Amino acid sequence: MEKVGIVGVGQTIYERRKTDTFAELVFEACTSALADAGIGIQDIDNVVTVSNDFWDGRTISSMAIQDAAGAWEKDVSTVEGDGIFGALYGMMRTLSGSFDTTLIVSHVKGSEGNMNLITNAMFDPIYQRHLGVDATTSAALQARAYMEKTGATEEDFARVSVKNHGNGVNNPFAQIRKKISLEDVLNSRKISEPLKLYDCSPISDGAAAIVLSNEKGLARFKKDPVWILGVGHCSDSYSLGYRDLTFPRALQAAAGKAFASAGIKNPLKELDVAEIADAYSYMELIWYEGFGFAAEGAGADLIRSGATAMDGALPVNPSGGLLSAHPVLVAGLARIVEATLQLRGEAGDRQVKGAKKALAHGINGPCGQSHGVFVLGA
């Protein structure tokens, strides 16, 4: 297969109530990705924008920010969902032979809508939406089911939150930069039991962008690219109740594909850093199992062992993860940005020394219905 490289990345600082418009956020992310790549918009052959109408509060939201993405007079296409799927689609367009370079951008202003009402609308409108279920209450149902099956405790979930918040202190792009203790998490306000305030990611505003190039397009860039070594994508059943919430078979399938093409047999050993979708603390433990970092049911053992801490065998979420900043839709693309910075050795205080292989992960739908997985290499 022809190779695709990441040649530029850009992101805004993630904050609550940013005083930038959607278009300003998109412009900032795009221009910083282009500056990072050392090119201008004229060197971009096509653009992929990522958004969601409910989050934007308008229909065909992806068309509304195209001027700010430099997409005017260019081939532009759109993705609705997490930014990781925008990257997947952008990679396909780069491989198609029609374009050598692709700019992918995703934006959200979580602070301007109502997260609970917006995520309530993702559920089945006849049988489930009317009950008021949303991202947080459905996550709580998943968390409890996982505890019942595996024996993981609220303290194990808190360990994820403590680790990722601790990491977030080192990330100048993170929204929450505050070290917290196990007691802080366990004593934080009950939101939807067993989830408490510090088990839940914050609501963030921001944008991220990446530039992809095929081998032919690389002549336009000075820096060495970060290569996409493997990609996988898979989705599980839509209806809450018709899939096993305690084991992410879709992630297992997606990761399996990505690891196979990257030649990775033991991901915990062979990967140097992972940025994964911890929208709620407990998710990180379930995803450990889906990735094969831990055996089924043993996610809590891995966090307890310290293997995923900054000084562990595989640091997970050095950026602080979604628990430190959760720009919905942008999150997966931001994971790719973070993984790229790690592989270039440009991750500042959150750098994992000598990182050669990195994982980036994004989710979409209730309780991680679909998963996108990228393995990147220097």
The pair of structure tokens assigned to 165 is: 């918040």
Question: 19 or 219, CB closer to other proteins?
Answer: 19
Question: 327 or 366, CB closer to other proteins?
Answer: 366
CA–CA gap between residue 338 and residue 56 (Å, rounded): 25
Among 2, 19, 172, 219, binds other proteins (CB under 8 A): 19
Under rule CB under 8 A, residue 240 binds other proteins:
yes
Residues 292-351 that bind other proteins (CB under 8 A): none
Under rule CB under 8 A, residue 132 binds other proteins:
yes
Shortest reach from residue 94's CB to other proteins, in Å: 32
Report CA torsion sign: 280, 194, 146, 293: positive
CB 119 within 8 A of CB 137: no
Among 51, 52, 137, 214, binds other proteins (CB under 8 A): 137
Among 41, 145, 169, 313, binds other proteins (CB under 8 A): 145
Under rule CB under 8 A, residue 214 binds other proteins:
no
DSSP structural state of residue 325: -
Under rule CB under 8 A, residue 241 binds other proteins:
yes
Question: 268 or 300, CB closer to other proteins?
Answer: 300
CA–CA gap between residue 68 and residue 122 (Å, rounded): 28
Under rule CB under 8 A, residue 237 binds other proteins:
yes
Burial of 303 (0-12, 13-18, 19+ CB in 10 A): buried
Among 13, 23, 95, 116, binds other proteins (CB under 8 A): 116
Under rule CB under 8 A, residue 182 binds other proteins:
no
Helix, strand or coil for residue 372? strand
Under rule CB under 8 A, residue 239 binds other proteins:
yes
CB 104 within 8 A of CB 48: yes
Among 73, 125, 172, 219, binds other proteins (CB under 8 A): 125
Under rule CB under 8 A, residue 82 binds other proteins:
no
Size of the site for other proteins (CB under 8 A): 38
DSSP H helical ranges for the chain? 22-37, 53-56, 61-64, 83-95, 115-120, 135-150, 154-168, 182-186, 249-262, 267-270, 281-291, 299-305, 321-324, 331-344
Shortest reach from residue 279's CB to other proteins, in Å: 16
Applying CB under 8 A, the residues found at the interface with other proteins are 19, 57, 114, 116-117, 120, 125-134, 137, 140-145, 148, 189-195, 237-242, 245
